[in-house]
Amino acid sequence: MAEGVNDPAVVRREYETEDRFVARRLSTWAELDGPLVEDVALAEVGRLDPKRVLEVGCGTGDFTERVRDGLRGPLVAVDLSVRMAALTKGRRIDALVADIQRLPFPDGAFDLVLANRVLYHLPDLDRGLDEIVRVLVPGGRLVAITYSERHLEEVGGLLGHAVVGPAFSTESGPRAMERHLATVHHREVSGTAVFRTGAAIRGFAAQQFGRPDGRRPARLGAAAVPFRATYRHSIIVGVKPAARP
């Protein structure tokens, strides 16, 4: 995941269709034992009870649909991928094709912006955060979901490199958000991913780290199965400072 994670060409390829997007999901290859970060994020959004919500980087819209169903007010979603926006719109959600770094909304349009595992894709993270802050009302929240740099480190040991890079992680994300927002805090969410077969480990590794021509990663060490690895996510919340009198 670390290599090219914020390269626009790589991002376009990875999210051009839903097939590769879904195949990259950990739950496609492993059984997950523990809390899910999406559930924790939904609870956080429900607690904040926002009136107007923007989700940036909506993907296939399955999580977006869950968010919408728990809201009292409207939700708008954007994605850089034409296909992802179309899939989300197919769920009767107001979805647009847009770049987080150039959001097509006026200042102060939303009470909450939700960014689910997308901010590490931005070529210019500070520009993207500036845009998110711009469209928030004073006192509005950014709720960002991301990975720890230790996410699935056991799989990283098999591959000979880290699974997640530092672009926007549990460790680096709060510092990045503090440059733009106030009262930043985060909560870690972790559990165990159980790979039942060697084929599952290889399939996951190929989707996460394989080349565009479908070749497997250059190195994949042997592992006894069932193979257990720790998934580590986090939710980082920042508040836009109130307007000065």
- At residue 100, the pLDDT reads 97
Rounded to 5 degrees, φ, ψ at 93 are -115, 140
Instruction: Copy the structure tokens of residue 137.
Output: 């009302």
* E strand segments, the chain: 31-33, 53-56, 75-79, 94-97, 110-116, 136-147, 182-195, 227-239
**Distance from the Cα of residue 142 to its chain's centroid:** 13
- At residue 124, the pLDDT reads 96
Instruction: Copy the structure tokens of residue 73.
Output: 């007010």
The SS3 of residue 76 is strand
Q: Are the CB atoms for 168 and 176 separated by under 8 Å?
A: yes
Tens digit of each residue's pLDDT (9 = 90 or more) over 78-98: 999 999 999 999 999 999 999
**d(Cα 94, Cα 231) in Å, to the nearest integer?**
32
Tens digit of each residue's pLDDT (9 = 90 or more) over 24-41: 789 999 999 999 999 999
Instruction: Copy the structure tokens of residue 76.
Output: 């708008």
- Domains along the sequence of the chain with CATH: 8-148+166-189+233-239 (3.40.50.150)
Q: Are the CB atoms for 56 and 168 separated by under 8 Å?
A: no
**d(Cα 90, Cα 236) in Å, to the nearest integer?**
29
Cα dihedral: 84, 90, 91, 96 (round 10)? 50
- At residue 24, the pLDDT reads 79
- Per-residue pLDDT tens listing for the chain (245 residues): 444 677 666 667 777 777 777 777 899 999 999 999 999 999 999 999 999 999 999 999 999 999 999 999 999 999 999 999 999 999 999 999 999 999 999 999 999 999 999 999 999 999 999 999 999 999 999 999 999 999 999 988 887 766 666 689 999 999 999 999 998 999 999 999 999 998 899 888 888 765 433 444 445 666 789 999 999 999 999 999 987 54
Tens digit of each residue's pLDDT (9 = 90 or more) over 196-222: 998 899 888 888 765 433 444 445 666
Q: Are the CB atoms for 81 and 100 separated by under 8 Å?
A: no
Whole-prediction pTM value?
Answer: 0.91
Q: Are the CB atoms for 165 and 5 separated by under 8 Å?
A: yes
Q: Are the CB atoms for 174 and 220 separated by under 8 Å?
A: no
Rounded to 5 degrees, φ, ψ at 55 are -105, 125
**d(Cα 162, Cα 159) in Å, to the nearest integer?**
8
- At residue 4, the pLDDT reads 62
Characterise 61 by phi-psi region: left (phi > 0), alpha (psi -120 to 50), beta (else). Answer: left
Closest alpha carbon to 158 in 214, 231, 215, 229 = 229
- At residue 210, the pLDDT reads 54
